[in-house]
Amino acid sequence: GISSAWQVQFPPLQAHDGGWLDVGDGHQVHWTCSGHPGAPALLFVHGGPGAGCTPDDRRWFDPQRWRIVLLDQRGAGQSRAADLLHANDTPHLLADMEALRLHLGIGRWALFGGSWGATLALAYTQQQPQRVSALVLRAVFTATRAEACWLYGTRGAATRHPAAWQRLCTAAGVRPGATLLQAMHARLQSDDADAVAAAHAWRQWEHDLMDAETTGPAAPRTSLADSSALAQARIGVYFARHGWFLAEGELLARADALRGVPGFIVQGARDLVTPAATARALRAAWPAAQLVCVPAAGHASTQPAMARALVNATESFATIATIATIASATAFTHRPPTCQPEETHDA
């Protein structure tokens, strides 16, 4: 049996091109390309907001069959910002994605995103449907008030893991009458130890929920430097306080724009961060997509069943593409499972 996501992912991969793209407003966004330069392009859209990409994000994709593009959003990862939050909102992030596509000379690309990455991928595709060949979305988040209340209110996920919620509220310094987001925003403005502790607690909240989703071992994670944790939390709280800079219900209301775009929605049935109801609502509004509900998985992409479903989804789109230039490429000895995930639904 599969005990780790790494058993179904592709081998580690180096970038063959990359750099910083000046997008104005004091921001330079970092990008890399790897895989086959002549293959269909695929953009990995990272989560957060503010989380950035890692080299392991390339491992979801067959490097013989995809030109793999990674982009760090404004203020995230290796991107450079004179001011973290200045001109940092969803419209700017979408414009940056389009600017990178033009910079790299890509006509159409597939998008792969989970959680906040799924949000951005949906928004971009609704703006530029003719530029998107396919979508693979995990843990769909559409930035509605109901989803915000679930994550950061007292009657949602907080009731599923009250000890973790209390830790988060304590670190944020929530006082009577104040919301978590108000308190967290205020605490993150300073540069003292309380702000650092709050930043780490902001990230830990989602990890605590992921740990509560399954009875197996905790999801693997990397520790963050204090400066990175502060940047990620400041961006994340800023976006959340502004409704992720999207109109209420916008992504579902505009789902008709996706009708010509094939897609996979891969959703963990036990997801406590982005519950499955949102994925089902998106699938109802987007008949061209296939919903793959993974019964044993939650929010984390690193859970083995989730990893298999994600690799299978990208493999199925690579199969559709006819890539004559790759016929002579040297084959990797590692091949992930090719069985197609069955469409299942949680109760």
| Active-site annotation holds for 208 | no
Catalytic residue among 30, 46, 92, 299: 299
Which candidate, 106, 62, 90, 118, places its Cα nearest to that of 301?
Answer: 118
Strands 67-71 and 41-45: parallel
What is the 3 state secondary structure string of the chain? CCCCHHHCCCCCCCCCEEEEEEEECCEEEEEEEEECCCCCEEEEECCCCCCCCCHHHHHHCCCCCCEEEEECCCCCCCCEECCCCCCCCHHHHHHHHHHHHHHHCCCCEEEEEECHHHHHHHHHHHHCHHHEEEEEEECCCCCCHHHHHHHHCCCCHHHCCHHHHHHHHHHHCCCCCCCHHHHHHHHHCCCCHHHHHHHHHHHHHHHHHHHHHCCCCCCCCCCCCHHHHHHHHHHHHHHHHCHHHCCCCHHHHCHHHHCCCCEEEEEECCCCCCCHHHHHHHHHHCCCEEEEEECCCCCCCCCHHHHHHHHHHHHHHHHHCCCHHHCCCCCCCCCCCCCCCCCCCCC
Token pair 């994670």: residue: 221
Which candidate, 232, 246, 160, places its Cα nearest to that of 201?
Answer: 232
| Active-site annotation holds for 115 | yes
Which candidate, 109, 104, 98, places its Cα nearest to that of 133?
Answer: 109
Catalytic residue among 27, 30, 92, 115: 115
* 238: amino acid identity, one letter: Y
| Active-site annotation holds for 299 | yes
Annotated active-site positions, please? 115, 271, 299
